[in-house]
Amino acid sequence: MATQKKLIHEQWSSRTAFILAATGSAVGLGNIWKFPYITGENGGGTFVLIYLCCVALIGIPIMIAEIMLGRRGKQSPINTMAALAREEGRHPGWKYLGWMGVIAGFLILSYYSVIAGWALAYVFRTGSGLFLGATADGVNSIFNDFVGDPEKLLLWHTLFMVMTMVVVARGVKNGLETAVTFLMPMLFVLLLVVVIYAMSTGYFYQGLEFLFTPGKITGKAILIAMGHAFFTLSLGMGAIMVYGSYLTKDHSIVQASIVIALADTLVALLAGMAIFPVVFANGLQPGAGPGLIFQTLPIAFGHMPGGTLVGVMFFTLLVFAAWTSAISLIEPAVAWLVENRGHSRVYASVVMGIMTWLVGLGTIFSFNIWKDVTWSIPFLFKNYRFFDTLDYLTANIMLPLGGLFIALFAGWIMHKTSSSDELATTAGIYKTWRFLVRYVAPVAVIIVFLKAVGAV
């Protein structure tokens, strides 16, 4: 049985609040453009089926493990891993797994905030009618002028960081829970409104066809599906673990994890249904990747009937998705400061917010005054800008390693009686989870990691 641990933080008031928060953490900017894009380019409906299998075999087992560790430790990821290592009679070095997650979340937020600031700026730019009648060259010029101006980027980066830290400073119930209870339903409503609009374009069926028509699947596509299934659920960065620490014992971790994974996938599919009919209706290219958001869609919004309103709703949707992810990225570091330094949440939030904001300056400068400054790490990458370096190190190195070690700790290091006691599920479900987290998920994550670093 687990030793009784003192509750330092508040807890979620309900299972629904936890699911909304964890779903908010998982749903981010990548759901809005990346999943629809890689689906259309990698086999359509066949890819979706493979992706769902990967979510079931990799994502959900690791998510269950991360939530379980968080709830059992009841502290920040760093202190949780230290406490659980002691409880299981294991080496204290496992606390560095917590450190890696906290640092990864901190670094990701530093550049995530800058990109989210772009979305925030585009809410107002679209609403002002800036893109009405704009040509492709005009929209590209607007975007390039925007990212080339460090002062403008600094303003929107600062505003988004302030928005994030205000929520985090208010605590679990008054801050995190209140925010996601409002933001997540609004995100779904906005997404559905844009989908309904997409149905009126006359190209809705073509969009569905692009997303779901079964196509040829390749080994590369399977690796992409495996990688996205892992990354889309916000695993390995401490966010899900710290959210799990606020979950009460009477809520099912297995059921919650399945609901979160399904909601995350639903948002991604709805985003595809919303975006691609608009793209096809305006004769644009669906394979525009990241540029689809800031350089391709504004052309459509500038020429379609009611495009200004639709554009404002779309970029507001992006801001909401980014906001719910951002508060989860910084929460592990704030929780650690509260626990280990005795600071108030307000003080801890301000300190971490300022530190994250400062590191974010490097990303801002990567697009203008530092655009010719590059970094290299032997055997990994050459001539990466500051932003690209952070993105590579977190997404390709830190998160896969974090997910791998979470699976190894939960499946091999933690005693069976401990994990069985914490999950409190049926014998069949427990055995299935334990097999997946011990054998299937680690092998899959290793393959994803080797692909990410160019070894396969």
**pLDDT (tens digit per residue) in 325-335:** 999 999 999 99
Residue 158 to residues 112, 116, 163, 385, 399: CA-CA distances in angstroms? 12, 11, 9, 21, 26
**pLDDT (tens digit per residue) in 179-197:** 999 999 999 998 999 899 8
Q: Does the pLDDT value for residue 6 go beyond 70?
A: no
CA 150/CA 374 separation, integer angstroms: 18
CA 71/CA 227 separation, integer angstroms: 26
Q: Which residue has the higher pLDDT, 86 or 30?
A: 86
Confidence category of residue 342, pLDDT binned at 50, 70, 90? confident
Where residue 149 falls (left for φ over 0; alpha for ψ -120 to 50; beta otherwise) is beta
Q: Does the pLDDT value for residue 1 go beyond 60?
A: no
Where residue 342 falls (left for φ over 0; alpha for ψ -120 to 50; beta otherwise) is left
- Domains annotated for the chain, with CATH where assigned, are 15-452 (1.10.4160)
Mean of pLDDT values over 95-112:
96
**What is the phi/psi pair of residue 76, to 5°?**
-60, 160
Q: Which amino acid is at 285?
A: Q
pLDDT-wise least confident of 106-110, 274-278, 347-351, 407-411: 274-278
Q: Percent of the chain at pLDDT above 70?
A: 97
Could you tell me how many residues make up the chain?
456
Residue 356 has a pLDDT of 98
Q: Are 210 and 286 in contact (CB under 8 A)?
A: yes
**What is the phi/psi pair of residue 381, to 5°?**
-155, 160
Local structure of residue 252 (DSSP, 8 states): -
> How far separated are the first and last CA of the chain, in Å rounded?
43
- Residue 144 token pair: 């390039």
Q: What is the mean pLDDT of the chain?
A: 91
CA 204/CA 196 separation, integer angstroms: 9
Q: Global pTM?
A: 0.93
Q: Is the dihedral of CA 51, 53, 54, 59 positive or negative?
A: positive
Candidates 211, 189, 213, 199; CA nearest to 278 is: 199
CB atoms within 10 A of CB 146: 17
Q: Does residue 240 sit in helix, strand or coil?
A: helix
Residue 288 has a pLDDT of 65
Alpha-helix residue ranges (DSSP H) falling in 246-344: 253-281, 291, 297-303, 307-341
**CB-neighbour burial class of residue 417 (10 A; exposed 0-12, middle 13-18, buried 19+):** exposed
Helix axes 95-127, 29-41, angle to 10 degrees: 90
Residue 267 has a pLDDT of 92
Helix axes 45-54, 29-41, angle to 10 degrees: 130
Confidence category of residue 231, pLDDT binned at 50, 70, 90? confident
197: CB partners within 8 A, 6+ apart: 274, 278, 306, 310
